[in-house]
Amino acid sequence: MAIDTFETITHSPQETQELGKKIAGSLKKGDIVALFGELGSGKTTMIQGISWGLGVSKDIYVNSPSFVILKEYRGKFPIYHFDLYRLKDFSELTEIGYPDLLDNKGVVLIEWAEKIEKYLSEYIRIEMKYVSLNEREIGISYSATRRKPIVGGHQVTKLPGHQ
């Protein structure tokens, strides 16, 4: 159940990445960011921005780890990027040590969070929808227990440059 929601439409991949960078500004170790949305809705693009905002070098290729499920990047703390598109069963995640990663070691970013929604408790929820070729509708909210603002360090209903 979400307690706070922020919605916007971005008009380019760059704009989505910029939003990702802003979100990154208030992430801390142990946070889980769960991204929902169809193929091509911009989840990886958003994760690129979040990763850059967390200090990952632009030389490092942040893309969907579709075949390995998990990629790890080094930013100001470890970033664990999951793509669960091909996940068949939750046990596949436990095999690669998923629960241990949630132990405040870094930030966990999950594409196709739909697949494990029922196992997630406290997380930042990003829902992405394809609107047109260059437009994506993006909704950001928190799961029930997280009350911290996530953009810009204060409660916002509107971001500069976003409608």
Question: Does the footprint of ligand ADP cover residue 155 (CB under 6 A)?
Answer: no
Query: Given the complex with Mg ion, which of 111 and 127 has the nearer CB atom?
Result: 111
Contacts of 148 by beta carbon, 8 Å cutoff, 6+ apart? 26, 142
- Residue, CB closest to ligand ADP: 42
In terms of Cβ atoms closer than 10 Å to its own Cβ (0-12, 13-18, 19+), residue 10 is buried
- Least Å distance, CB 130 to ligand ADP, is 8
**Virtual CA dihedral for 48, 10, 23, 141, nearest 10 degrees?**
-120
Query: Given the complex with Mg ion, which of 16 and 44 has the nearer CB atom?
Result: 44
Q: Which stretch binds ligand ADP (CB under 6 A): 72-80, 89-97, 117-125, 132-140?
A: 132-140
Spatial separation of the C-alpha atoms in residues 123 and 33, rounded to whole Å: 6
Question: Does the footprint of Mg ion cover residue 64 (CB under 5 A)?
Answer: yes
Q: Which stretch binds ligand ADP (CB under 6 A): 40-48, 74-82, 89-97, 150-158?
A: 40-48
Question: Does the footprint of ligand ADP cover residue 71 (CB under 6 A)?
Answer: no
Residue 62 near residue 44, CB atoms below 8 Å: yes
